[in-house]
Amino acid sequence: MPDPLVLLAVLAATAAGLCAWRHWHHRSYWLIVGYPLTALSVIGTWRKIAHGCGLTKKRQRFWFTTVPGLVASTGVVRVKRKFQRISVDTKPFMWPPCPTRYGWRVTLHTLEGQIPADYAEAAERLAHSWGVHAVRVTSPRPGRVVLAATIRDPLIKIDPSPTPGDLLKVTVGRLETGGPWTIDFRTVPHWLNAGATQSGKSNLANALLIGLAPQPVALVGFDLKGGVEFTPYAPRLSALATTRAECGDLLNDLVALMNDRMGVCRMASARNIWQLPPAMRPTPIVVLVDELAELYLMADKSEKDEIAHTSTALLRVAQLGRAFGIYLFCCGERVGSDLGPGVTALRAQCSGRICHRVNDPETATMTLGDLDPAALASARAIPAETPGVAIVASADGQWYRARSFYVTEQAAEHAARTYADLAPAWTDIMTAQPQDTHAS
Ligand SMILES: Nc1ncnc2c1ncn2[C@@H]1O[C@H](COP(=O)(O)OP(=O)(O)OP(=O)(O)O)[C@@H](O)[C@H]1O
């Protein structure tokens, strides 16, 4: 028989080894040790958990039951087993869990009368029952739901820097799933980036600027904070407006430019600038707007006309800009309808939605619109300790929790200076129109 002390030492050494393995290479530890144990536990406890979370259904089944039998002479009631049809709780069928980078994923067959929303409603209960950070519900096809469990919040710590992407495409952070968070203006042309103060809106704009700076793209800044945000990036900006009057002038330019590009496309029988031959294609423009609400705030009636003018011009850019290579990225603390009908109409044109931490539920509702109520709850639950975390409505109709890469102002300024020579002068953009519309 082994010496108990030796046994104890071996157990202690094994536990320490496992802890060290988990600490130093969590991914291999998870796949080889953590995941198989978790999968067994998920399968083993599924009936109880499904019942507890209200996901079971009563069904009539033939079942062995114990029923009272004869009464013995001593007065003791004997029980006997009987095979009979009774009502039992049936759990949804579960395929074995598959490991993912940050947890696991299981596919379930829904029971009769169930819809994915029933599982989404139970997601928080499931997360607590399994002791995981979050459970997300998707439905790849009718009758199936996929539960993706994330063990720990993967957005607490993320990689340090954005990576350059294709034209007008920038990876600005990480999704909760571990995938890249990409802003692709050619897929989703206009974006709304909302959140409370210190929630990470400017950091995201910095990450975007760093990604776009090396690309053959003109950047335009509307900085309604009096220029304090974007002036340091001026070397890479083709134009910068810091007051509402300047924004109005710049918007006039953009509308005129859009009309010119429209004419060029019409003559070349192209529906958008991307259908033009490369030699004729004008430079795409990304307009970064900071403090959107300032464009709409009216101190007195004398500002009414100016606001109406800027609001209409911005809306025209949003409505028609996509086809003519003009894209918007609007940041603001509030995008409420109290700012007027202009902001509501603009919001409708911005199909890309990013909602950072918010102070009030209305801002989350207004930014994320009709998205799943779970997305709104998730936006409201973003803690102040994790600036840069946001709920992102994506092109695939899904929503994700994501976090932007941390980009210091110094890094963004450095990128602006490094790629200053790639910034086309605004006058060149306004005057550079292709002459030969029949070029192939
Ligand atoms: N992804 C991130 N990772 C780590 N820290 C971040 C991240 N995003 C933002 N921060 C930090 O959070 C703080 C606030 O960020 P930021 O200035 O971008 O917020 P904001 O929403 O633009 O605030 P304001 O509206 O007041 O300008 C900054 O100190 C910034 O360094």
pLDDT digits (tens, 9 = 90+) for 91-117: 999 999 999 888 999 999 999 999 999
Question: How many Å apart are CA 248 and CA 269, to the nearest integer?
Answer: 31
CATH of the domain at 364: 3.40.50.300
Exposed e or buried b for every residue in 231-270, given b needs 16+ CB within 10 A? eebbebbbbbbbebebbbebbebbbebbebbeebbeebeb
* Amino acid type, 417: R
Give me the helices (H) in 243-357, please.
Answer: 244-267, 304-320, 341-349
Contact in structure between 316 and 275 (CB atoms under 8 Å):
no
Which span out of 22-26, 170-174, 337-341 was modeled with the highest average pLDDT? 170-174
Helix 341-349 × helix 304-320 angle, to 10°: 10
Three-point CA angle 23, 28, 33, nearest 5°: 85
pLDDT (0 to 100) of residue 434: 56
Question: How many Å apart are CA 38 and CA 6, to the nearest integer?
Answer: 29
Kindly list the distances between the CA atom of residue 304 and the CA atoms of 296, 297, 299, 394, in Å, as whole numbers in the listed order. Answer: 9, 9, 9, 35
Helix 304-320 × helix 244-267 angle, to 10°: 30
Say if pTM beats, i.e. exceeds, 0.95.
no
405, pLDDT greater than 90: yes
Three-point CA angle 392, 394, 398, nearest 5°: 95
Whether 370 maps to a domain, the answer reads yes
What element of type H or E holds 111? none
Mean pLDDT in the chain?
88
End-to-end CA gap in the chain: 88
Residue nearest to atom 14 of ligand 1 (CA): 198
Could you tell me if the CB of 388 is within 6 A of ligand 1?
yes
In ligand 1, which atom is closest to the CA atom of 203?
A: 18
Whether 175 maps to a domain, the answer reads yes
Stretch among 78-87, 217-226, 289-298, 347-356 having the lowest mean pLDDT? 78-87
Could you tell me if the CB of 365 is within 6 A of ligand 1?
no
440, pLDDT greater than 60: no
Structure token pair of residue 101: 């980078």
Residue identified by tokens 């049936």 is: 90
Question: How many Å apart are CA 416 and CA 232, to the nearest integer?
Answer: 8
CA of 404 to the centre of ligand 1 (A): 10
Could you tell me if the CB of 162 is within 6 A of ligand 1?
no
In ligand 1, which atom is closest to the CA atom of 333?
A: 25
Whether 314 maps to a domain, the answer reads yes
pLDDT (0 to 100) of residue 419: 95
Kindly state the percentage of the chain with pLDDT values over 70.
95
Contact in structure between 122 and 136 (CB atoms under 8 Å):
no
What's the rounded mean pLDDT across residues 115-126?
92
Helix, strand, coil percent content, the chain, rounded in steps of 5: 40, 25, 35
Stretch among 112-121, 162-171, 221-230 having the lowest mean pLDDT? 162-171
Whether 67 maps to a domain, the answer reads no
What's the rounded mean pLDDT across residues 310-317?
93
Could you tell me if the CB of 357 is within 6 A of ligand 1?
no
Whether 139 maps to a domain, the answer reads no
pLDDT (0 to 100) of residue 207: 94
Could you tell me if the CB of 191 is within 6 A of ligand 1?
no
pLDDT (0 to 100) of residue 2: 67
Task: Determine whether the annotation assigns residue 73 to a binding site.
Answer: no
Could you tell me if the CB of 56 is within 6 A of ligand 1?
no
Stretch among 40-44, 193-197, 366-370 having the lowest mean pLDDT? 366-370
374 pLDDT band (50/70/90 cuts)? Answer: confident
pLDDT (0 to 100) of residue 162: 58
387 pLDDT band (50/70/90 cuts)? Answer: very high
Spell out the residues 6+ positions from residue 118 whose beta carbon is closer than 8 angstroms to its own: 55, 110
CA of 386 to the centre of ligand 1 (A): 9
Extended strands (E) in 74-132: 77-90, 98-100, 103-109
Structure token pair of residue 349: 């044109």
Task: Give me the domain span that covers residue 234.
Answer: 169-431
68 pLDDT band (50/70/90 cuts)? Answer: confident
Kindly state the percentage of the chain with pLDDT values over 90.
57
Task: Determine whether the annotation assigns residue 201 to a binding site.
Answer: yes
CA of 355 to the centre of ligand 1 (A): 13
Could you tell me if the CB of 367 is within 6 A of ligand 1?
no
* Amino acid type, 247: C
Of residues 73 and 131, more confidently modeled: 131
pLDDT (0 to 100) of residue 66: 79
Helices (H) and strands (E) in the chain, counts: 13, 16
Whether 254 maps to a domain, the answer reads yes
Structure token pair of residue 257: 């430019």
379 pLDDT band (50/70/90 cuts)? Answer: confident
What's the rounded mean pLDDT across residues 227-255?
94
Task: Determine whether the annotation assigns residue 321 to a binding site.
Answer: no
What's the rounded mean pLDDT across residues 401-416?
93
Task: Determine whether the annotation assigns residue 196 to a binding site.
Answer: yes
52, pLDDT greater than 60: yes
Bridge partner residues of 289 (DSSP): 222, 330
pLDDT (0 to 100) of residue 194: 93
437, pLDDT greater than 60: no
Kindly list the distances between the CA atom of residue 210 and the CA atoms of 175, 273, 322, in Å, as whole numbers in the listed order. Answer: 19, 24, 22
Task: Determine whether the annotation assigns residue 60 to a binding site.
Answer: no
Whether 416 maps to a domain, the answer reads yes
CA of 156 to the centre of ligand 1 (A): 14
In ligand 1, which atom is closest to the CA atom of 195?
A: 21
Could you tell me if the CB of 197 is within 6 A of ligand 1?
yes
Question: How many Å apart are CA 120 and CA 71, to the nearest integer?
Answer: 50
Residue nearest to atom 13 of ligand 1 (CA): 198
Whether 220 maps to a domain, the answer reads yes
Tally of domains within the chain: 1
Could you tell me if the CB of 201 is within 6 A of ligand 1?
yes
Spell out the residues 6+ positions from residue 150 whose beta carbon is closer than 8 angstroms to its own: 102, 103, 132, 133, 134, 135, 136, 176
Residue nearest to atom 16 of ligand 1 (CA): 200
Structure token pair of residue 73: 């002479």
